[in-house]
């Protein structure tokens, strides 16, 4: 038998079996189904699921939490997970993703973002901006505020006025202390 004929026959058989994926069963809302053990197609959401329009969830977007060390620690952790890949750990927009060809995000250290209210940062995390997509489905409202607080700490760390430092802190900067 010709090898080309065998290959053509096998390819024809393989392609014809793939067609089954186009003809899968479809269920309407709350229609009975043999797919699940309880016999229904409508399954309960997993424990801990919260609707996006839940009033408690939405209230967390408008209620800015008080600044605490715990909030900053949480913001630093979440920033490292969600933001640093594009914005880098110091917030200059030189992360690993832009280094591979994605558009560079703006530095958090420019005047426009230094002067923007923290609610603006929360809004950008929520809705996205420019090439950045929304993180609303990944970052909880409370964590958005924590990230915004951490961004403020980053901004301060890169541009703290020398007058706000103690004499000991200034001596360390000048190389006179350890």
Please name every residue paired with 40 in a beta bridge, in sequence order, or none if there are none: 32
Q: Block means of pLDDT (10 residues each) for the chain, length 178 residues?
A: 77 65 73 84 82 78 90 98 97 95 95 96 95 92 96 90 80 70
CATH number for region 55-169: 1.10.760.10
- Tokens coding 130: 């420019």
Domain ranges of the chain: 55-169
Residues 21-35 pLDDT 10s: 667 777 787 788 888
Residues 124-146 pLDDT 10s: 999 999 999 999 989 999 999 99
């Amino acid at each position: 038998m010709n090898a080309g004929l065998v290959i053509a026959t096998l390819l024809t058989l393989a392609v014809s079996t793939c067609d089954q994926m186009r003809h899968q069963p479809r269920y309407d809302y709350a229609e009975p189904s043999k797919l699940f053990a309880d016999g229904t197609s409508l399954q309960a959401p997993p424990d801990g699921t919260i609707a996006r329009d839940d009033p408690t969830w939405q209230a967390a977007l408008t209620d800015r939490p008080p600044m605490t060390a715990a909030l900053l620690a949480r913001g630093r952790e979440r920033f490292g997970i969600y933001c640093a890949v594009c914005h880098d750990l110091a917030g200059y927009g030189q992360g690993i993703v832009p280094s591979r060809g994605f558009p560079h995000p703006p530095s958090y250290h420019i005047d426009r973002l230094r002067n923007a209210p923290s609610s603006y940062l929360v809004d950008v995390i929520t809705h996205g901006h420019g090439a950045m997509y929304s993180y609303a489905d990944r970052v909880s409202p409370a964590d958005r505020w924590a990230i915004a607080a951490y961004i403020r700490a980053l901004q301060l760390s890169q541009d703290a006025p020398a007058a706000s430092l103690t004499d000991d802190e200034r001596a360390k900067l000048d190389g006179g202390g350890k």
